[in-house]
Amino acid sequence: MDLPDLIREAIAAGRLREPFSAGEAAKALRNPDWPQQRVHSFLVRYCMGNLAASQVLVERVTYGRYRLLYDGPRDYVAPPTKFRRRPARHDRREDPHPPGEPEP
């Protein structure tokens, strides 16, 4: 089992809370295959902002504290556009009242 799955299990079981440090994650995992140094190396390698990362799995919240990135289903959010919506032709029409006359 890979480290993100093990961390998700530990969070679901209540043994680990986000944001977490490498030491807290290693203690919560209780797995001899994942000592603190290896957990720390994994978190640094797959952290957001590491340009050499092949995939981003964690985000550094503060120095030495990380949280897993959510990778489940998400609602679609349209990407922002640089163009404004053009007003429809009827939105651009002027009122039928000439300027200077009182409005009803």
- Tell me the pTM: 0.63
CA–CA distance, 57 with 24 (Å, rounded to integer): 17
pLDDT band at 55 (very low <50, low <70, confident <90, very high): confident
The overall average pLDDT reported for the chain is: 80
Task: Name the amino acid, one letter, at 33.
Answer: D
Name the more confident of 91 and 80: 80
pLDDT for the residue 72? 54
Q: Is the pLDDT of residue 39 over 90?
A: yes
Q: Is the pLDDT of residue 96 over 70?
A: no
> Which whole number is the average pLDDT over 11-34?
92
Q: Which CA distances in Å does 47 have to 31, 54, 94? A: 21, 10, 55
CA–CA distance, 4 with 73 (Å, rounded to integer): 17
